[in-house]
A = this chain, B = another copy of it.
Amino acid sequence: MMSMADHPAFNVLLATCPSRTSLARIANKWTAMVVIVLSDGRKRFGDLRTAVEGISSKVLTETLRDLERDGLVERHAYAEMPPRVEYELTPLGRTLHAPLQALSHWAEQHTEEVQTARQTYDARD
């Protein structure tokens, strides 16, 4: 059975609703790519940096910190030399995989249509 409590009155369209903060975090290309890579399993910092082509150390660090802060990713640091740090999705983070994967699939599947539309738009008058 579902009660009212299962449906809090959160609405991203409302300016002051805290859910908008959550949306802003996940509706982000780097977040999407990092989560997709991490859903394959625990990954080291350097491996993430390689897998998510083109991301810089700084942006990867920030993205991971934000995800950790929001309880979506867990950080495991080992006191070794050279250092080793691994990241993995929390159970909450794993629930993000499906929606973000869907978004990426959309991007991949409709890229050609988007490119065509863009060329048409840019070519007109």
Contact A11 B108 (CB under 8 A): yes
Contact A92 B69 (CB under 8 A): no
Cα–Cα, bound, A104→B12 (Å)? 7
A77 adjacent to chain B (CB < 8 Å): no
Chain B residues whose CB sits within 8 angstroms of the CB of A68 once the complex forms: 121
Copies in the complex: 2
0/1 string, A50-75, CB within 8 A of B gives 1: 01111000000000000011111000
Cα–Cα, bound, A59→B14 (Å)? 17
Cα–Cα, bound, A53→B59 (Å)? 29
Contact A113 B99 (CB under 8 A): no
Partner of A121, one of B18, B69, B100, B115: B69
0/1 string, A71-86, CB within 8 A of B gives 1: 1100000000000000
Chain B residues whose CB sits within 8 angstroms of the CB of A26 once the complex forms: 103, 106-107
Cα–Cα, bound, A8→B102 (Å)? 16
Chain A residues with CB under 8 Å of chain B are: 8, 10-15, 18-29, 31-33, 36-37, 51-54, 68-72, 92, 95-96, 98-100, 102-104, 106-118, 120-122
